[in-house]
Amino acid sequence: MAARIFELRAKRAKLTKEANEALDRAQKAAEAEGRDLTEAELAAQDDFDARLEALDREIKIEERKADRARMYGSADPEDHTPPLPGAGPQPQVHVGENRVEKDPRKGFASHRDFLMACMKNSEARAADEVDERLRHVAVRADDGMPGIAFMLPEAFTPRSLLAAAGSDEHGVYADPYGGYAVPTAIVPGVRQIGADPDPTAGRTQPVPMEAPSVDILARVDKNHSTSVSGGLTVGRRAETSSINSSRMEIERITLKAAGLFGLAYETEELLTDSPISFVTLIASGFRDQFGAKIFWEKLHGSGAGEFLGVLNSPAKIQVAKQAGQQAGTITAINVIEMEARAWGNPIWLANHTTKPQLRQLALIMDNGYAGGVVSLYQPSLQAGMPDMLLGKPIFYTEHLPAKGEEGDIILVDWSQYLEGLYQPLQSAESVHVRFLNHERAFKFWLRNAGAPWWRSPLTPHKGDTLSPIVTLAERK
């Protein structure tokens, strides 16, 4: 049975690897072609999942057989088919006594094996899913309440605690007087909050990267005083007069992928003894950290070996504060002037500390006949939907400066931000890096690039400059 279980687990590991490799190939192809996964690619993954579920069921059946064989001997405890009538004398089979009750380990290999069985039992939905070994360490509650408690097998209980068993002087109300003997369990899963979500996800302009460095051509058309097409002009002429020629200017924007890395060490003892999978916990933590770091670079990045953030973009427009404006305040005129300088279809981002003031922004209207108050801020009436400021969505994030500093509230059209992914998030582990320390190394990395493609604000034919990136000046 053990050989069969080993064979099935090896088969499942191989199938899992094939499924992940197929998904990686499909995702890379989709990213390169600027599309979502096709129905055929999704159906292939569903087929992998179905095959994996079938293997899981088969492994579970074999493990159940192995448990019964270990507890009751090699004979099947359920094989008690009565002889057929007239079949004559049947051979007598003598089964030895069930010695599991005398086993100090109760069939468990270690205290960790016992704890894992208790955790799986708490998730069991049917009687046949209960680990048979637990039936020999089960103690029904004697307080009138339903339920079963599982006591740590004798082989894993310290002798000092066994010596105290049976004394009416001891109880579970104090650790030194019996409480230490009560086993504890860990609830599956780890509570976490993560970072603020990235509201720019799905709003930036994706750029396929088939090489570590890619060039994008752009028209130099940010000065509309004489031409809106990067230098081309048109004009009328008198008959027989020559036509004035013009030329269009273009520029090259370069995205260079840079590596972003994460590294963590865990002791082999912790990886072996802990009922919680630290490998999964580390992978989940790094996914959150990579996302938060990339979002931070979109806002603050210097452009040197990392993203160029909007707050460091040469195309940024900074709206001045009002004369005599108090420190740390945001006024209705501030946001109206910011919106007037914004180009495209932007969204608001602000630090959480600005929310109390922003929710109170309003204008007092007086047309000579009747007055009123017009709120500039509209709270969302539906869960999961953003609030609105001047008719545009507003999102709050911990990654912007606190109230009163430049950047505490910004207005950005993220469709003008280029984001390229050359190498998606990957991981590897090694036992050799810190072999003498008996630790395992876990490495995660990706290679990507990002920057606004505007290199200057837009000078319109008439009026103030415009930009897809607008901030409010410092108020201190």
CA distance 372 to 290: 48
φ, ψ of residue 25 to 5 degrees: the values are -65, -40
Per-residue model confidence as pLDDT tens digits over 259-293:
999 999 999 998 888 877 888 889 989 999 999 99
Higher pLDDT, 77 or 229: 229
Cβ pair 189, 122 in contact under 8 A: no
pLDDT higher than 70, residue 308:
yes
- For residues 405 and 330, the answer to whether their CB atoms sit within 8 Å is no
Q: At what angle do helices 39-72 and 2-33 cross, to 10 degrees?
A: 160
Percent of the chain with pLDDT over 90: 50
Residue ranges of the alpha helices (H) in 274-350?
278-300, 332-341
Tell me which of 9 and 468 has the higher pLDDT: 468
How many Å apart are CA 161 and CA 178, to the nearest integer? Answer: 8
- Whether the per-residue pLDDT at 84 is higher than 80: the answer is no
Q: How far apart are CA 144 and CA 345, in angstroms?
A: 66
Alpha-carbon distances of 329 from 354, 358, 462, rounded to whole Å: 8, 9, 31
CB neighbourhood size of 385 (10 A): 9
Q: What is the pLDDT of residues 88-133, one digit of tens each?
A: 444 454 445 556 566 777 777 776 777 777 777 766 655 566 677 7
Q: Which backbone phi and psi does 418 adopt, to 5 degrees?
A: -90, 135
Residue 411 sits at φ, ψ, to 5 deg, of -130, 115
Residue with tokens 């740390």: 328
Query: What's the rounded Cα separation, in Å, for the pair 105 and 128?
Result: 22
Pairing type for strands 392-396 and 347-350 reads parallel
pLDDT of residue 371: 60
Q: List, for residues 385-421, the tens digit of each pLDDT value.
A: 999 999 999 999 999 999 999 999 999 999 999 999 9
Domain map of the chain by residue range? Answer: 105-163+171-181, 202-236+244-476
Tokens of 243: 């036509």
Query: Which pLDDT score, from 0 to 100, does residue 195 have?
Result: 79
Distance from chain centroid for Cα 276: 18
Q: Of residues 472 and 69, which shows the higher confidence score?
A: 472
Q: List residues bridging with 145 in a β-sheet.
A: none
pLDDT tens for each residue of 412-466: 999 999 999 999 999 999 999 999 999 999 999 999 999 999 999 999 999 999 9
> E strands along 160-210, which residues?
205-208
CB of 204 within 8 A of CB of 417?
yes
Which residue is associated with the tokens 């899913």? 129
Give the contacts of 413 (CB within 8 A, at least 6 positions apart): 342, 343, 344, 345, 346, 347, 468, 469
Q: Does residue 307 have a pLDDT over 50?
A: yes
Which of 168-184 are b and which e, b meaning 16 or more Cβ less than 10 Å from the residue's Cβ?
eebeeeeeeebeebebe
Among 257-266, 288-297, 359-368, the minimum mean pLDDT is found in: 359-368
Query: What tokens were used for 451?
Result: 């920057």
How many residues are given for the chain? 476
CB atoms under 10 Å from CB of 441, counted, come to 17
Of 451, 450, 449, 429, give the one whose Cα is nearest residue 440: 429
Q: Which residue has the higher pLDDT, 310 or 384?
A: 310
- Judged against a pLDDT cut of 80, whether residue 309 lies above it is answered with yes
- Nearest alpha carbon to residue 361 among 394, 386, 385: 394
Q: What pLDDT is stored for residue 154 in this prediction? A: 64
- Whole-number pLDDT of residue 32: 85
Mean residue pLDDT across the chain: 83
Top pLDDT among 225 and 136 is at: 225
The answer on pLDDT for 45 being more than 70 is yes
pLDDT confidence of residue 58: 87
The pLDDT assigned to 9 comes to 80
Higher pLDDT, 331 or 79: 331
Query: Could you give phi then psi for residue 332, rounded to 5 degrees?
Result: -60, -40
How would residue 194 be classed by pLDDT, with cut points 50, 70 and 90? confident
pLDDT for 143: 42
Contacts of 5 (CB under 8 A, 6+ apart): 59, 62, 63, 66
- The residues that bridge with 215 in the sheet, in sequence order, are 254
Of residues 158, 116, 155, 426, the one with CA closest to residue 272: 116
Q: Strand pairing partners for 350?
A: 396, 409
63 CB burial (10 A radius; 0-12, 13-18, 19+): middle
| Residue-level pLDDT at 452 | 97
Looking at residue 189, what is its pLDDT? 72
Look at the pTM and tell me if it is higher than 0.75: no
Give me the pLDDT at residue 76, please.
Answer: 45
Greatest pairwise CA separation for the chain in angstroms? 126
Residue 166 has pLDDT above 60, yes or no: no
Q: What is the pLDDT of residue 37?
A: 86
103, amino acid identity: D
Q: Measuring CA to CA, which residue among 131, 142, 139, 155 is closest to residue 60?
A: 131
CA distances from 438 to 266, 272, 274, 428, 430 (A): 9, 12, 16, 17, 11
**Could you tell me which of 474, 454, 466, 475 has the C-alpha nearest to residue 411?**
466
What is the predicted pLDDT for the residue at 122?
Answer: 64
In which band, very low, low, confident or very high, does the pLDDT at 151 lie, cut at 50, 70 and 90? Answer: low
For the cut 50, the answer to whether the pLDDT of residue 146 exceeds it is no
* CB-based contacts of 249, cutoff 8 Å, min separation 6: 219, 220, 230, 231
- What is the DSSP pairing of strand 417-430 with strand 409-412? unpaired
Give the model confidence (pLDDT) of 197-220 as tens digits.
Answer: 999 999 999 999 999 999 999 999
Whether the predicted pLDDT of 6 surpasses 80: no
Banded model confidence at residue 142, pLDDT cuts 50, 70, 90? very low
- The per-residue pLDDT for 98 is 55
